[in-house]
Chain A
Amino acid sequence: MLCENCKMREATIKYVEVINGVKSEHNLCTHCASRLDIGQYSALFEGEFPLAELIAGIFGKTDSDRSRDQYAQVVCPTCGTTYEEFMKNSRFGCADCYSVFDPLIGDNIRRLQGSESHVGKRPAGHRITENGEGAQAAAEKADRQQSEKDAELPVAERIELLQSRIKGAVQREEYEEAAVLRDELKKLKEETGQNG
């Protein structure tokens, strides 16, 4: 069984907690178990809203120290929430925090929620408008513009970008996406004679 925290290593520690007579079982690897206060960790799955620091335990301690120092500087310009504060409370200060901290915590939200994109209801203002350009269409357009922008980058940077995306996809266990990116990288290298 895989560790339910990192989903990378074999779970070797089984942790059982009983709350109001309901037993819940958690399987963790030694690495994650040693880094998490498991008594708190188990509460992640309890209750209506898990207490802030419980998630912070997960959010905070899976990053390497190096990247944590680097991220500590990030501040939301709208509300002033710092990355450190988010780690402490697992709570955002405003709507903009999501986009500000997305590069840092996107993977963690994905791990927590098992998904990274909303497919449910949308507010009236975000539904498809009369001229046909709804939010979805706008989003696709933005994605297209992004890849066009990427195409303008120097080859070396494009290769680097693809490599980091592959790494990200593998970490997220999105092997299909990783394979597509790998083929793209191969093609790019062939086209530009940067093989090997």
Chain B
Amino acid sequence: MDRWYEAPGQPGSNVVYSRIRLVRNWKEYPFPSRMTKEQDSELTARLCESFKGIGPADGTKYRFAYLDRMTDLEKTSLVERRVLNRGIVKKQGTSGLILSEDESVGVIINGEDHIRIQVCDTGLKTTECYERAERIDDFIDSRIEYAFDRKYGYLTSYPTNVGTGLRVSVVLHLPLLSTWKNFNSLTADMGRFGTSIRGLYGEGGENFGALYRISNQKTLGQTEREIVDLVTKTAAELDQKEQNLRSDAGRRRSLARLDEVYKSYGVLKYARRLTRKDAMNLLSQIMAGINDGMIETKEPCSVFGLVLGIQPANLLRMAKKPLDKDELDAARADFLRERLPEIR
């Protein structure tokens, strides 16, 4: 079965994907940082038992895995695919992962909180993702008693998640907007209205691939609907701003842009060695090119799927042996040569 990120993007939209995350805790146990080893395995076993039946209930196939029995490489590759958050890779003690076949729905048991529900989908589908996460939340709510306080709402390990426990994120591809002179004041304004923005990939001060994630800063004092709406509206505005700049640029210097896109395709299709940075920036050109109708692949292509594919842990996992930097860059070029579809 295809993974959710393998679905091709929608032409005309710069939204790559939407993600909902809900955290919950079980009233019967202390939060994970204060649990004994015995409690770790007991809670994980009991919660997994409670989650049985979720598959038939939401018509999806799930599989279960113990995170503490996975290798660091497997876990890091799940981090790259956005299933796990980085913090859990080093966690001691029993914890579990319930993951749908297409990896769009993941529940982490006994991570930083007892339950972390995540739903992802391509495009601007925050509402759909939230509704799906809420159904899973309701399913568990009918089986265990959540830690809840009338003042603070759903109680979480970190006060940065308390209240709704909800984080709504939208990832956008903003190659022109991010180089626009007013981009920084735009993001500062967004902060004042309660959303934050950060680069998805990069090193130090440099961004690779022009992918940006916006999400709500606060989790308390607003309803779930308000939080979803805030992030969705902000994402739609950024998408529109990017689109306007792109149409302008397309009109003004169409040959230059066409040339850039085709050259990028050529390098990706024929290079024998590619650094992560170069590959990400070239894929960014392809993403924009497909979106703007400047280049068309013979088969539908998820450029974001390729972005996930060329990350180091995934390449190492596929190689099934350790690789040095040059070998990794070669494996990356091989991966892209093989996966990038032909163009018309």
Contact = CB atoms under 8 A, between A and B. Distances in A.
Interface of A: 18-25, 45-50, 52, 55, 78-81, 89-95, 97-99, 102, 105, 108-109, 112-126, 135-136, 138-139
B221 A25 contact: no
A118 B202 contact: no
A90 B25 contact: no
B8 interface: no
Nearest to B163: A118
A24 B187 contact: yes
Contacts of A94: 29-31, 34, 147
B31 A92 contact: yes
A118 B207 contact: no
A98 B151 CA distance: 10
A138 B217 CA distance: 31
Interface residues of B, number: 69
A121 B27 CA distance: 17
Nearest to B194: A114
A129 to B, nearest CB: 14
Given A24-B187, A80-B34, A118-B151, A91 B220 contact: no
B94 to A, nearest CB: 18
Contact of B201 (A18, A20, A80, A121): A20
B21 A78 contact: no
B341 interface: no
Contacts of A90: 158-160
B87 A49 contact: yes
A177 to B, nearest CB: 16
B336 to A, nearest CB: 22
B147 A95 contact: yes
B145 to A, nearest CB: 6
Contact of A22 (B34, B151, B199): B199
Contacts of B154: 118, 123
Contact of B178 (A21, A78, A139): A21
Interface in B126-169: 134, 137-138, 141-142, 145-164, 166-167, 169
